[in-house]
Every structure is written in C-alpha cells, then in structure tokens.
Amino acid sequence: MQLTDFVVPLIVVGIFVYATVKRVDVFSVFCEGAKEGLQTCADILPALVLLLVCVGMFRASGAVDALTELVRPLCSAVGFPAECMPMVILRPFSGSGAMAVYNGIAASNGVDSFAERVAAVLLGSSETTFYTVAVYFSSVGVKKTRYAVPAALTADLTSWIVCGAVVTLFFGAG
C-alpha cells in the first residue's frame, strides 16, 4: 500500500459526499458527464487510427530504434530514457500523436518500466502547446503571438530533463 493509493478513492468519495451535501443529483449528473467521456473517445478514434498506423509504421521499419540510438548519448548524460525522445518532440504538436507514441513505448519497453513511466509522466504533465496557442489567439483574431510560443516551449523543452530526474527519484533509474 502506498500513499498514492488513497488519491483516487478519496477523490471519488470526496466528490460524491460533497456533491450530495450540496444537493446535486449525483447519479444523473455523473451519467451526463460520462456520456461526454464516451463522446471524447469516439471523437479521437479516427485520429488515433491514423496516428497509430503512422507511428507503428515508423516503429516497425526500425527507424525509431536507429534514431533512439542516435540521441542516446545525449539522453543518458542527463538520465533520460532515449526511447522517450519521440514523445518530447511530438507532444507539443499532437495530443493523439503523443498517445500513439506512448502506446508504442509501453508495448516495446513493457508497462511499469522506467521508459514507460517517463512517457506517461510526460503525457500527463504537458499540453498540445501549438494547438492551445492557436485556439486562444485565433479566438481574438490576433495573428502575431509575440513571445507566447517561445515562452511555452521553454517549459516544454526543459521539462523532459526534470521528468527523467523525478521518475528516477521515485522509482529508481531504468
């Protein structure tokens, strides 16, 4: 048993209890929300098919392995699994693409491996930066986003180093 084992049950129970106190119709509101979740899954499926095929082809050809070996010296210098580099590069561009890359890493390195955990943390702690910037600024008709992209990418392109270090700290090096 770990402390993190409490997080999910506590959130579930906490929200239900709080909502009941606030006289929310938990059952019907939950179902309404769950339906949105179902919709999301259906919405991402076409993109997921395309991206899983593309990423899968790239992986099956052996090109990913070759590129991984290419960046391995740089990555191992900072304790980052080279297998996760495609994730760092693709994450700011495409959410479904990052999901596809994650799935490939989990399949070839095994779930609960160092590389798989690093990939999951990267996926969970970042956003589709270019998409977000585009949506937010196009909503107000601003084309020149000045330093928005550089500032956001400063975070995206340095957090992978932190990510490798943090996962090593919690789970040991791969």
Partner 1 sequence: MKLIMVIIPLSALIYSVFNGTVSELSDSVLSEAAGAVTLAISLCGTMCLWCGLMKVAEAAGLVEKLSRLLSPLVCLLFRGVKKGSRAAGLITMNLAANILGLGNATTPLGIKAMQELSDGSSATDDMILLTVLNTASLQVIPATAAALRTANGAVSPMDILPCVWIVSVYAAVTAVSAAKIMGAVSRRRAGNCS
Which of residues 68, 71, 72, 159 is near partner 1 by CB under 8 A? 159
- From CA 2, how far away is CA 154, in angstroms rounded? 34
**Identity of the residue, 82 or 100, whose beta carbon is nearer to partner 1 in the bound complex:** 100
Q: Does 173 bind partner 1 (CB under 8 A)?
A: no
Burial 120-157 (b: 16+ CB within 10 A, else e): bbbbeebebbeeebeeebeeeeeeeeeeebeebeeebe
Binding residue for partner 1, selected from 10, 29, 72, 85, defined by CB under 8 A:
29
Our finding on whether 156 is near partner 1 (CB under 8 A) is yes
Name which of residues 58 to 87 contact partner 1 (CB under 8 A).
58-63, 66
> Which of 83, 88, 102, 114 touches partner 1 by CB under 8 A?
102
172 contributes a contact to partner 1 by CB under 8 A: no
* Per-position DSSP letters for 159-173, written without gaps between them: HHHHHHHHHHHHH--
> Contact between 155 and partner 1 (CB under 8 A)?
yes
Quote the CA–CA distance of 89 and 153 in Å, as a whole number. Answer: 11
The span from the CA of 160 to the CA of 122, in Å, is 7
Q: How far is the CB of 2 from partner 1 (least distance, A)?
A: 7
Our CB check for partner 1 shows the closer of 25 and 76 to be: 25
Residues in the chain: 174
Binding test (CB under 8 A) with partner 1, winner from 73, 77, 139, 172 = 139
